[in-house]
Chains A and B, each alone.
Chain A
């Protein structure tokens, strides 16, 4: 098997990545445009960033989004980890098929259906819609993603480590906290990050489940975009893209380092 780049491979990789990244780069580029028109270059300017930070509606929406995302990602990760433990460890129980169905179904469910059905539930229960209903909706669909991420790691978990801990006098609960959780930590952290970005990104479900009081950032962007493209949205997008890119790169460096550390520890333990 050849391990060099052939011309075919180089061309298709280049074209593929240009296709994936060029639109984003163009978007970032025009956020520094002097002109109000997004597609005609008129000189460098950061005025759209200044205007963005002056716009309180955007700042409010950003704050709501952040609060929803932090809270929903945290609860979703806890519930998702519990669900993963149930799927991998609990063995047989009544309603197991229904349980795993309810974990996997939201992953392929169109957002319009999830949004509509949750809204109708909230209306039937007579709850006031706003911050809390969006948060609950986000917990519901992101806990399923969290459960899948955590359980795929848990399947490969070496249970003899837990047994060793119990032999050394831990209760099952202690061994779960002291042995299982630290080993599962990378998967749990990626589950949290996934839940967090899913919540940050969601337009459809938030639009259905929100009330008059709460507008999230995607909802605000969407309503602006419907009115027309403005460099302000480009500026906002650039900031969000920067945050996510830095987050993903940091996370991948950290996991690589943790992995290297773990391998070094294993070598130490073996020698």
Chain B
């Protein structure tokens, strides 16, 4: 499918399929795989590629339109809305979800706030150093 945008669905999840489709579009926008103003695949293309019922895709597109993520131009197709705030808010939303998950996991391991912050800081440094190391190796 165009622009490297692909939909991966998890049928073992309790999350409804149409919501998973919306999640995938949001993720693609946040990662610049779909640009603001960019065209989404047609509902039928997406249904065929993801092998889901066209009704399910239709519902996902309808909801995305209602939440202001996309707009449909009659006879042309569906486009990601050109909205400066959209990208920032999507990235913020996804970052928050990722951090929330992380906090829940380490809390379950019995860590305290100070320990978590310390751990994040030290791991961040380590990972950045590791990345730099990889780049050096490449040269």
**Do A and B come together as binding partners?**
no
Q: Which B residues form the contact surface with A (CB < 8 A)? A: none
